[in-house]
Chain A
């Protein structure tokens, strides 16, 4: 329990640092007012608008104001949407959440059989093929993969919808696109874990007891190789969020990814901050959950 409380308190400074870094970077990178006004707005018009939005104050003062608002639970008004920023972000959360869960499931479904097969058939053509494919899977950019999948399955074969969110069918291509890189990583991780485990004494014992091949590999081998998979999934949540940014744009998926990209382009500070805040909580939460799960799965692990 003390461990959990300690962990929760660690989140606060992390959020503080993230918010500061994001605030400074977004501020330095451009002025929202020049983007809001027409292309040929005069410098006087720009200045007037900056003053009316409070953007003429020094960055550090703006940050102070922002922080005091956050303490009150407000991220401020979105310049673009003219509404409180946080509800706009929370509205998108289910879509991104749905995409990420689907991506995790797909990567688990792909990686477990491939990882095990690759380890059992070590140094054979099958192993080489699987290893090669996983390098490719990790190396392929999401953007390209998404468009290729769309061309094959939606445009030529016409068995899946092209884009948008709706039924489970709409989810298939974005989930594969987002999950492929993680599947590749999990496959390689499982392979090396399985190779370690396969040489353990208890595996030999199991085999010598006359257990079936399936039983030896899946009951004794896989079970002992799964622990690092949980860590890897948790660690990969942040990569998944990054991947989802791209996937959401390609598949017109109305999640946080699309929002954060359009907000950064518009320098819509309140929305950017609220997005980063929500994503940070999400990633920290996932890592935190992994810590706890680790302990549930392997009681030998103790936290102090």
Chain B
């Protein structure tokens, strides 16, 4: 039996040894780690701070990959945008300006002549040429297995004129082309580098023409970038390294900010703002996002919501301001449309307004024959959107006050999508949609296509006609009017009842100057460390 004790001691010893070995190997492997750990600790000596200025940003999800054409994640693009430059880019005020482009002008309705700035290089030193543009845009336009294909298939061809000049030929007139070229999927890739080394090599060692070059990606842990010395606008000053740390749990992200482990924290809730603002040295900031919360209503004859009076009653029963003020603590604006300011086609009369009249709602229900009460089902993805569970419970109680008894059905996210796509959600579903194109075409598409019919039995010929005309209309004033008219019809017929336009909340250390952007991008070159 003496063996047993000996054995336990030896086992413990071995376990400890292997643990130390594990940690040592880790430390030896990655020199960077040491710097990061020091950065995370409180005591970084002054001289070290002078040497290395590391900006650390905590994000909730890891990036998907470095394939810019095969994801539709804002979180992923927020990191990519620092490595890959676009032909055009959105400035902080969301105006689209040329980035890699020197000039661009329409030749005719389907042709854009463009020229690149000269002297731009990829992180490996290769010059950027029109060949790279052709390679990048035609890849996504032709390969239908890529997730961004659906958006960028409008590009028919990229015709090279010389090293720096090219023409983009679109499939029909495309008024949104400039929007498409300044978002996900339009970062320019290095043709030669990819063809010589293969995709797998590119995905693990990506290069672009952006202000930061890739150093390391440890999945679900961190992405490390460093300034590119030969960036065409000049090396980013005052920052020596950028670390994106993946921290899924929101409380952990906040704790890291409070203890100085990270400088910027994304994806916070309005409730977190008070705790952050209460501490010195950090503050919470917010900015309007592109996300709009709404109720989708089923127009199928079998549902009571096919009656316009019932739909109007639902909208009148909901006090949008109570939701934006009490639940979202002022970090949202009531809206009656998905096209919010800053997006092409925004309707000023439908924004920052709402209808609320519970008495009229009761009256309408009575007129519709539901004076004795009405039972409806509301489906939502459990805890998927910001405070959605609370918001929907409040909506249910508001509806109860006018005599509508709501059964809330909480389901898993992917189940929710299936129910929504099949139109099996009952009478109502709740969701929050974004819009990365900053144009009405995407936001209003569902009412003009099969999507509206498949999911809600909604169809309106006028809407379809207006939307189709606007899609290829190069007369921008007329196009804006067409989109605004669609929004008026939607607000009247209520295939959806829009509720609020949500703000994005960030936590920031006082050592960093950071202005949150409406497109949720984390553009490091616009940030400053003090």
Contact = CB atoms under 8 A, between A and B. Distances in A.
B7 interface: yes
Interface string A258-288: 1100100101000000000000000000000
Interface in A68-96: 80-83, 88, 91-92, 94
Interface stretch (A8-16, A43-51, A116-124, A129-137): A43-51
A47 B144 CA distance: 12
Contacts, number: 190
Given A249-B249, A251-B252, A80 B434 contact: no
A254 B220 contact: yes
Interface stretch (A56-64, A163-171, A205-213): A163-171
A254 B144 contact: no
B3 to A, nearest CB: 6
Contacts of B421: 34, 43, 46
Given A40-B433, A108-B12, A147 B251 contact: yes
Contacts of B61: 262
B362 interface: no
Nearest to B72: A38
Interface string A8-41: 0000000000000000000001111011111111
Given A42-B451, A164-B261, A226-B5, 18 more contacts: A29-B415, A30-B413, A34-B418, A35-B413, A40-B451, A82-B67, A88-B219, A92-B219, A92-B220, A98-B19, A105-B15, A163-B261, A164-B221, A164-B222, A219-B5, A250-B252, A254-B219, A259-B220
Interface in B472-493: none
Given A40-B446, A105-B12, A171-B23, A250 B249 contact: yes
A37 B147 contact: yes
Contacts of A52: 144-145
A102 interface: yes
B220 A258 contact: yes
Interface in B435-473: 442, 445-446, 449-451, 454
Interface of B: 1-5, 7-8, 12, 15-16, 18-20, 22-23, 25-27, 33, 36-37, 40-42, 61-62, 64-65, 67, 70, 72, 144-145, 147, 150, 200, 203, 218-222, 245-249, 251-252, 255-256, 258-259, 261, 412-415, 417-418, 421, 431, 433-434, 442, 445-446, 449-451, 454
B19 A101 contact: yes
Nearest to B61: A262
A222 interface: yes
A223 interface: yes
B486 to A, nearest CB: 15
B12 A43 contact: no
A140 interface: no
A46 B147 CA distance: 10
B255 A155 contact: yes
A297 B1 CA distance: 8
Nearest to B450: A42
9 contacts: A29-B414, A36-B72, A49-B145, A155-B259, A162-B255, A163-B255, A223-B5, A226-B4, A251-B252
B258 A155 contact: yes
Contacts of B245: 164, 252
A150 interface: yes
> Which of A37, A163, A167 neighbours the largest number of chain B CB atoms within 10 Å of its CB?
A163
Contacts of B246: 252, 254
Nearest to B204: A83
The 9 closest A-B pairs by CB, nearest first: A30-B414, A254-B221, A34-B417, A252-B247, A254-B220, A98-B22, A52-B145, A223-B5, A166-B37
Contact of B414 (A35, A101, A108): A35
A104 interface: yes
A229 B72 CA distance: 50
A82 B70 contact: yes
Instruction: Give the dominant DSSP class at A's interface.
Output: helix
Nearest to A102: B19
Interface string A214-230: 00000100111011011
Interface in A288-304: 293, 296-298
Contact of A161 (B40, B414, B431, B433): B40
A209 to B, nearest CB: 17
A36 B147 contact: yes
Contacts of B412: 29-30
Nearest to A80: B64
Contact of B2 (A154, A223, A230, A249): A223
A167 B22 contact: no
Instruction: Give the dominant DSSP class at B's interface.
Output: helix
Nearest to B19: A101
Nearest to B66: A82
A151 interface: yes
A262 B220 CA distance: 9
A42 B42 CA distance: 50
A229 B5 CA distance: 11
A83 B203 contact: yes
A151 B200 CA distance: 42
A222 B261 contact: no
A265 B413 contact: yes
Contacts of A49: 145, 147
B204 to A, nearest CB: 9
B65 A80 contact: yes
Contacts of A168: 19-20, 23
A161 B261 contact: yes
> Which of B249, B412, B415 neighbours the largest number of chain A CB atoms within 10 Å of its CB?
B249
Nearest to A265: B413
A34 B431 CA distance: 14
Contact of A81 (B16, B65, B415): B65
A169 to B, nearest CB: 8
B68 to A, nearest CB: 12
B445 A40 contact: yes
A43 B446 CA distance: 11
> Which of A164, A165, A259 neighbours the largest number of chain B CB atoms within 10 Å of its CB?
A164
A296 B7 contact: yes
Nearest to B70: A82
B36 A162 contact: no
Contacts of A46: 421
A249 B248 contact: yes
Contact of A223 (B4, B72, B219, B255): B4
Nearest to B41: A161
A156 to B, nearest CB: 10
B414 A267 contact: yes
A163 B252 contact: yes
B22 A97 contact: yes
B23 A154 contact: no
B27 A167 contact: yes
Nearest to B60: A252
B203 A82 contact: yes
B308 to A, nearest CB: 24
